[in-house]
């Protein structure tokens, strides 16, 4: 999530009034049953900085989410051959994934 994607994510988070988000590394979560969570500001610079090599967390097998009530979640798989998943309200996903190359799937169920 760099460059235009980071700007789009910052804009999308601002659009849902999210001022902080959380980043956790979930590698081997099934074995250890816990993982570290870091809080970060939702501006473009902070989004890019949590992904730098000196970040305390790896970019693989990680999750980014907001406060309760959960309005978005970004899951980053543990391999490069899997997709990055962005889940949230339609407007959030549209803003966040506005750069070319994103595939948006709408799975809406209603009664």
Q: What is the pLDDT of residues 43-102, one digit of tens each?
A: 999 988 887 777 766 667 788 899 888 899 988 877 766 678 888 888 889 898 888 888
For residue 94, give both structure tokens: 């549209």
Does residue 10 contact residue 43 with C-beta atoms inside 8 Å?
Answer: yes
Q: Examine the pLDDT at 110 and tell me if it is beyond 50.
A: no
Flag whether the pTM goes above 0.85. Answer: no
At CA 39, angle to CA 1 and CA 82, rounded to 5?
Answer: 35
């Amino acid at each position: 999530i760099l460059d235009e994607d980071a700007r789009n994510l910052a804009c999308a988070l601002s659009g849902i009034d999210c001022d902080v988000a959380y980043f956790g590394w979930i590698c081997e979560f099934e074995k250890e049953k816990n993982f570290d969570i870091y809080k970060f500001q939702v501006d473009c610079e902070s989004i890019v900085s949590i992904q730098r090599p000196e970040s305390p967390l790896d970019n693989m097998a990680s999750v980014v989410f907001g406060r309760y009530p959960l309005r978005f979640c970004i899951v980053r798989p543990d391999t490069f051959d899997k997709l990055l998943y962005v889940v949230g309200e339609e407007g959030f996903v549209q803003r966040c994934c506005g750069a070319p190359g994103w595939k948006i799937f709408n799975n809406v169920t209603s009664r």
